[in-house]
Amino acid sequence: MEDRELIQRALRAKEESTYTPYSGYKVGAAVEMDDGSVYTGGNIEIVSYSPTCCAERTAIFKAVSEGHRKIKTVVATSLPCGVCRQVIAEFGADARIIVAKSEDDYQVYTLDELLPHHFATEELGDKYV
C-alpha cells in the first residue's frame, strides 16, 4: 500500500479516537502487515494513565489477535512511546515507521533509529526462538 494511503488511514483513526477524556490528545495509527492487510487504532485513555493503550499498540494488537505476526509498516500521528517501540520490535524489527503530522508532513524511521539495542527474543536463548 502507498505511504499516502496509510497516512490517511492513521489520520482518520486519530479523528475517530473515541476515548481520550483526560488529556483530549488523540493519536491514530495504521499498521500494514506483511500480507498487505491494514489495521487501525486510536489511543484509549484510562484515568490512572498506566493502563492506557496507545494507538500503535491498539492497531498492532488487533492484527496479532487476528493471527498476523509480521509488521511491514507502522504509521502513527505521534512519535511512538518506548513501550510501543518495543511492541513494534516484537512483530516488526525491520518495519518502516512513519510519523505523520499530515499527508505531506511526515518522517520515516527504522526501529534501530528509534530504539537502538532493543530487547529481542534472541536474548532469551534457543528455548524461545
DSSP calls for 61-128:
HHHHHTT---EEEEEESS---HHHHHHHHHHHTT-EEEEESSSSSEEEEEHHHHSTT---GGGG-TTT
Helical (H) or strand (E) element with 12: helix 3-16
How far is Cα of residue 120 from the mean position of the Cα atoms in its chain? 17
Active-site annotation, residues: 56
What pLDDT is attached to residue 128?
54
Q: pLDDT tens-digit profile of 35-93?
A: 999 999 999 999 988 889 999 999 999 999 999 999 999 999 999 999 999 999 999 99
Query: Do 85 and 76 form a contact (C-beta atoms < 8 A)?
Result: no
Averaged pLDDT score across all residues of the chain? 93
Q: 38 phi and psi, to 5 degrees?
A: -125, 135
CATH code for the structural domain at 3-124: 3.40.140.10
Domain ranges in the chain are: 3-124
